[in-house]
Amino acid sequence: MERKNAELIKLFARTLKRRRKAAGYSQEEFAHRMDLSVSYVSLLETENRQPTLTVLAALATEFGVTLAEFMAEVESA
């Protein structure tokens, strides 16, 4: 189970970073837009933190998709 979690965290980090860059935001701009700290965004993108459900939902909204669509994208990354 832990190995699967580690893989999911890795896929999430990649997806977040790719989506952020595709939207044209630096980590700083994105953090400000999402009302998160820059260090938290950095930790998420480097697989050092796991997002809360609230943060996941906010990210999905920011990217214009449902939470289910966002997680499907993460899982297929």
pLDDT tens, per residue, the chain with 77 residues: 677 899 999 999 999 999 999 999 999 999 999 999 999 999 999 999 999 999 999 999 999 999 999 999 999 98
Residue 52: the pLDDT is 96
Which tens digits make up the pLDDT trace of 51-67? 999 999 999 999 999 99
Q: 19-27: long-range contacts (C-beta < 8 A, 24 or more apart)? A: 19/59, 19/63, 20/45, 23/63
Q: Of 46, 1, 59, whose CA–CA distance to 71 is shortest?
A: 59
Residue 2: the pLDDT is 73
Cβ–Cβ under 8 Å, residues 52 and 45 = no
Question: Looking at domain 2-76, does it have CATH number 1.10.260.40?
Answer: yes
**Assessment of whether the complete model's pTM goes beyond 0.85:** yes
Interior angle at CA 40, CA 6 and CA 3, nearest 5:
5
